[in-house]
Structures are given as C-alpha cells and as structure tokens.
Amino acid sequence: MRFMMLLIRKGHETEAGTAARKMEYNKSLQKAGVLLGLDELSPPSKGARVSYADGTANVTERLVDGTTETIAGYWIIQVRSREEAVEWARRAPMANNEIIDVRQMEEYPNTAAKG
C-alpha cells in the first residue's frame, strides 16, 4: 500500500535544528526500504493558484500572511498497512507549527504509476 504523508506547516518558518533531524528521519525511511519519494515545496508566495468556474481558469498569485496552513512537502512511502504508515508519521521530528496528514494513495488499474 502506498501512502502520502503531507507536511502541513502554519507559516513558513520552522524551528532551528528541525532540518537536520528530518534528514536523519529521511535516512531511516530509506534504510527501512519504505521510502518511494519525498520533496519539500517552495513557499506559496512563489506559486500560483488556478481555480475554475464556469469552464474558465482563473490564476491568483499566492500571498500568504504567515498564519495560513500550507502544504510544505511530502513523503511517499510503501508499507503493509495504514497503521504502519501512521507509525512512520509519529516518528517524524516535526516542529510545533507542523502537522503530517497521512493519506492512502488510490490504486487505479492500467496507469503508468503503480505501487
């Protein structure tokens, strides 16, 4: 089963030392053979939001006031159960302003990305 663990951060700052602890955590995921991929995302202020209404795409620049929760990164892991995915998320060295949302990835037949 594949799971995405979404790193949700309130604001953009993270506590000092968290990055080094996350690197060690990433190594433990890799060593256990469960890590399929991971990335950190740039701040929303460097991106855009595309919304749709009546068949029209509208682009809005993303300016965040520092209090909004945003997706800051993700891990994709392959484990045997939801409980195992949650256990990996519990081990992550997160800052006080961070959350991990654990979501199972849907498996669709006849797709290029299979896990």
Domain segments of the chain: what residues?
2-104
Q: Which two tokens stand for residue 28?
A: 């433990």
Neighbours of 98 (CB within 10 A): 20
Q: How confident is the model at residue 61, as a pLDDT? A: 84
Tokens 């290029």 appear where? 112
The low-confidence residues of the chain, meaning pLDDT below 50, are none
- CATH 3.40.50.2300 fits domain 2-104: no
Q: How confident is the model at residue 69, as a pLDDT? A: 84
Please tell me the distance from the alpha carbon of residue 107 to that of residue 40, in angstroms, as a whole number.
24
Helix (H, G, I), strand (E, B) or coil at 4: strand
Q: How confident is the model at residue 63, as a pLDDT? A: 65
Burial degree of 84 (CB within 10 A; 0-12, 13-18, 19+): middle
Q: How confident is the model at residue 81, as a pLDDT? A: 97
CA 20, distance to chain mean position in Å, is 17
Q: How confident is the model at residue 88, as a pLDDT? A: 98
